[in-house]
Chain A
């Protein structure tokens, strides 16, 4: 399969597709059409103005919308860690965390609070108004779905892990809305990978507990996501729906790449679902996190 041919296939149906997705190429095409008449000396300036035009793809209001969505999720995460690690109402839960676990969770808490501050600053600098939440806005039982979140660190860590995995999917789902935007897309990617590091760490905390409890090495949760919802908690199915996908760019990566199958053998499908994290759209993510916000 030639992934790059997808563009050609689409162009057969939509001749302007290339220009729509790739304004830079359109700009270059325009230049070459009158290129012979333009002095080489003027080229850098011609390029500059054309590129500026071509790159003004996303309106600042649409970028602010994406960033406020991200900020809302970061508020949820930051408040979750702030509450769990410092609020008296979570004291019973906190006593069931080890000192080493607490130290790592505090690092995550710091990152999430920094993400909130960073996004607030960026939104303001773009002329937008950052959304705002206070600790009183949250219900970490998700309206009764996780009643033991105040007392059980098993539950609390499971919710934390789900927030991180969902956050990874949420940022990934917005990448195309920020395409070619050096500053904002890069910042979003730089947060996205940090959320994935958090998720990996939380999953290993839970894995250690599962192994201690006697679960087998192959049954326990991994740092990476296996299939659709490997958390053992049915209530979070929506956060993992589609993670069992093995179709990537039109290729069935579990069965269609022979050199991979030779090496992965019987584990080819399992490893294939792990090897690619899937995006989630805004509507789905909002649906997932809404129960954590008080009405």
Chain B
């Protein structure tokens, strides 16, 4: 089952394709601006205009922007698992052992969400709205496919944003969280199909054993299939 099907223009054929698609308008303009003075001036104007016209929750810039980006993704995951565990089908679709572990996953994600909210304090974005109608919470297969997709996306997001973090304390905190997301991802993948914990869709198995990381632009594009609140990520750091 394909989880991120709502926005057909965001669908990708391969993990590598996602990397290049992640370079969107703003980055393009930045590169273009290096070329000539005239383009540089236009680029600056275009950026300003765009941002003023953009409606949505503003993530901010610098480390605050990256932490809000992580907070948005943790909000998505937390709400998803709250829905999973509170659904009446949870007790029938999953074994007692699976219920124990998935309930723990819910706790982890709620804690990640609340941790970022507390860490960001006055800089935190508000609670986002979600639309999970593409997921059938009454069936095991739909829930597991969504869990896998959210966890894989989360890992690729933290991996791709790590170098943008300036403060070492936040970098370590992101590192403490991403490996737990990877543990979740491996668990769900193996539940769906044994020995898919390092599938070639997420890890470059044939060449170097590295996980595919993703840009914030790519990740937010994918997540927007579920986050209905518009998000303004224009000022997230890109280098």
Contacts and interface: CB of A to CB of B under 8 A. Distances in A.
A273 B169 CA distance: 18
A274 B182 CA distance: 13
A211 interface: yes
B111 interface: yes
Interface stretch (B1-9, B159-167, B217-225): B159-167
Interface stretch (A18-26, A60-68, A284-292): A18-26
Contact of A21 (B106, B120, B166): B166
Interface in B38-65: 40-41, 44, 62-64
A107 to B, nearest CB: 6
Interface in A129-169: 168
Interface string B184-207: 111100100011011000010101
The 3 residue pairs across chains A and B that have the minimum distance between CB atoms: A41-B37, A271-B107, A114-B209
A251 B119 contact: yes
Contacts of A193: 155, 158-159, 178-179, 181-182, 211
Nearest to B101: A222
Given A22-B167, A175-B162, A257-B114, A223 B173 contact: no
A180 B175 CA distance: 14
The bracket for how many chain A residues form the interface is 35 or more
A203 to B, nearest CB: 8
A217 interface: yes
Interface string A178-190: 0111100111011
A257 B110 CA distance: 10
B145 interface: no
Contact of B210 (A44, A191, A263): A191
B176 A248 contact: yes
B141 interface: no
A112 interface: yes
Nearest to B38: A41
B100 A43 contact: no
B203 A259 contact: no
Contacts of A211: 97
Contacts of B205: 107, 110-111, 114
A107 B202 CA distance: 13
Nearest to B210: A190
Contacts of B149: none
Contacts of B100: 217-218
B104 A274 contact: yes
7 contacts: A21-B166, A111-B203, A118-B210, A189-B213, A197-B183, A197-B198, A249-B119
B107 A186 contact: no
A70 to B, nearest CB: 12
A196 B175 CA distance: 11
B96 interface: yes
Contact of A3 (B120, B159, B184): B120
Contacts of B203: 111, 194, 197
Contacts, number: 253
A33 interface: no
Given A192-B178, A193-B182, A259 B114 contact: yes
A44 B178 contact: no
Nearest to A218: B100
A196 B186 contact: yes
A248 B115 contact: yes
A211 B180 CA distance: 22
Interface stretch (A79-87, A228-236, A275-283): A275-283
A115 interface: yes
A194 B172 contact: no
Contact of A4 (B119, B182, B184): B119
B101 A223 contact: yes
A197 B209 contact: no
Contacts of B40: 40-41, 43-44
A4 B106 contact: no
A92 to B, nearest CB: 24
A175 B104 contact: no
B169 A110 contact: no
A224 interface: yes
Contacts of A48: 34
Nearest to B173: A249
Nearest to A22: B166
Given A194-B198, A197-B182, A201-B186, A7 B159 contact: no
A186 B195 CA distance: 25
Contacts of B33: 44
Most buried by A among B82, B103, B187: B187
Contact of B44 (A40, A117, A201, A276): A40
A88 interface: no
B41 A41 contact: yes
Contacts of A59: none
B195 A4 contact: no
A168 to B, nearest CB: 5
A189 B159 contact: yes
